[in-house]
Each structure stands twice: as C-alpha cells, then as structure tokens.
Structure 1
C-alpha cells in the first residue's frame, strides 16, 4: 500500500500546497509519525495527478519561477476517506536501530554500553523538551491553558495535531523512563 499517497491526499484535503510546501509539512507535524523525502514526494505527486486524484495549476512567482500548486479532486477525497475509515493492522515491527544495538549489547564493554545509553537518553530528553514546547504552543490554539480533564472539540482543525503530539510525548516519556531505569546495569 502506498501510504505516502494518503499522507499527501490528507495534506491537500486541508488546503492547496506546492510540492515544496508538502515536503516542509513532513518536517513539521507529520514528522512525528511519518517521514518522506523530497525524492519520494515528487514522483508520488506525478502518480496522483496521473490517477486523477490530484490536479495542479501553475503559479508564476517573480518573473520566471513557476511552481505547481496541487489540490485534491473529488476522486482523491473519496479515496482518502475510504482509506481513513478502513481498519489498520498492527505493523509487524517498528524499526529502531538503538533497540537492535541493545539486542547485541553483549558485544560491547560496560563503558561502551553506558556511553551508548547516555547518548540515547540525552537525545530522547532533548526531543521530549521540543515536543513539550510544541504542546505548550498548541494549547492557546484551542483557547485553553491545559487540556487535562477537558474534552477537545472533535471539529477543531488542530485535533489531529493534538492527538499525534500527545502520543509522541507519551512515546518519548516512556523511552526516557526505560533508559533511566536500565542505565544502572552499566554502572560499576
């Protein structure tokens, strides 16, 4: 299944974007749970246009620069909505290079393992701080100071961002807790 196809359709369901704009979105909110490179996005855009799921208009910027502005078609909306309501099986596994290294930790010295854990912990803590800052910036968009105990409006345009962001925060909190708990194994 071409999941990138649905990510692009979903973005264009919101508003018109250029290929550059779509690539930028993968570095922002969507980057918390899905990644795509420039080299993947543009071929997918061409396929979606060929399939009649998108169309584009050419916009002139400055005197010579042309860019394509993409919009979703009715057929694209139908396909996106059909995909969105279909049940998703659990993935077989999520790739995590650090966990693969943990599986083979017996190949490392105690000091090397401790250094590896410290580095991972530092990275995860930095990511958690970034996510929590993003969360604090999102709260005023909902017009509230805190979300705990308050029902979110289902129709709010940023509800999806809120859900994805809170899941990313929980994931990083769990990872930090696990790292902190097991770091003692490598202290002499």
Structure 2
C-alpha cells in the first residue's frame, strides 16, 4: 500500500505541472507555495523515491538535462492517485502558531514583551500583504492567462483574507494591551 502522506501528494501536485528534478520541486515550494506549504529536500527526495517505487512517477529524460540530475514526471497512475486525493475530504487542520502559543502562556508581567511581538508581527503582515497585492496585480495583468489562474487567484485570495484577519487581530490586541497600562 502506498504511503498517503501529504508530502507525497504535494510533490505529485508539482509533477502535475511538468517534468522536474528534486531541486526544481524545492524551488516550487520556496516560491509561490511557501505561503501555505513547505517541504525540505529531506522530505522531497524520499517522496520521489516512494512515488517511483509505487509507479506514480518515473525518471524522465529531457533534452537539456544536466548530467547526474534526475528529472521526474507523473505517470497516468500517479495522476489518477492525485485526482483521488484531490477529491477526498480534507483531514483535520494541524495548526501551529508560535505567537498564539506565546500569548497564551504569557503573564500580565509580560505585557510589554507581548505588545512588542504583536508590533513585529504587524510589520511582517504588512509586508506580506504588499507581496500578495503585487502578486494579485501581476496575475490580473498577465497578457496570457494560464489555465490555472482561477485556482491561483482563489489561493491568493485566501492569503489576503487570512492576512487581513491576522492584521486586525494584531491591531486590536495592541490597542487592548495599551489600554491595560
């Protein structure tokens, strides 16, 4: 039975877009995917090995392939397996938030430290929002729209809305902490 971890499906998802090396796949995770999903080389290469062993991907030869660099492509069975996963219900969200963890365990004596963390987060979120808006403008103004554009826009919209909500939470938290002085 094939492993059904999300790492394997994330790698398969990248392979649905083309023929890639492990290095190329990592670039996808460091690029547009990094806003909501990350995988390390230590996760990608074992997943590729397992995908090949299960017949969901194969090593592929490409014209400009660097010597020693393996490239992979999804098989029809891999595409079927990916589509099966895509249509399956989503499991429980494993959410981890270090800021929320620190706020939860802070005491009233930590108020200034926590306020500083919120202010730092506010700056980070403001920068992230600028990146999202720029990506949104770039996607909207593309001369040729890729067929995946509607799904990319939905994903980007999630990033914008969740960042707006977290920005609001940070602002309200700073205001509340300021009133507690």
TM-score if structure 1 supplies the norm length? Answer: 0.85
Aligned to 1:165: 156
| RMSD value, Cα | 2.2
| 1:57 to partner: Cα distance | 2.6
2: distance between equivalents of 1:169 and 1:128?
7
1:129-161 deviation digits (Å, cap 9, x = unpaired) = 1111111111123779xxxxxxxxxx9322221
Q: TM-score, normalised by structure 2?
A: 0.88
Measured in 2, the distance between the counterparts of 1:79 and 1:174 equals 35
Residues 183 and 53 (structure 1), Cα distance of their counterparts in 2 relative to 1, 3 Å cut: same
Structure with greater strand percent: 1
8 Å Cα contact 2:13/2:82 also seen in 1: yes
Deviation at 1:120, TM superposition (A): 1.2
Does 1:38 pair with 2:41? Answer: yes
| Residue aligning to 1:123 | 124
Question: Is the CA contact (8 Å cut-off) linking 1:29 and 1:161 kept in structure 2?
Answer: no
**SS of equivalent to 2:16:** helix
Partner of 2:101: 100
Larger RCO: Structure 1 or Structure 2 (Cα < 8 Å, ≥ 6 residues apart)?
1
Equivalenced residue count is 176
**How far has the Cα of 1:73 moved from its partner?**
0.6
Question: Take 1:114 and 1:53, find their aligned partners in 2: how far apart are those partners?
Answer: 49
Matched, 1:23 2:14: no
For structure 2, the 5+ residue unaligned runs are: none
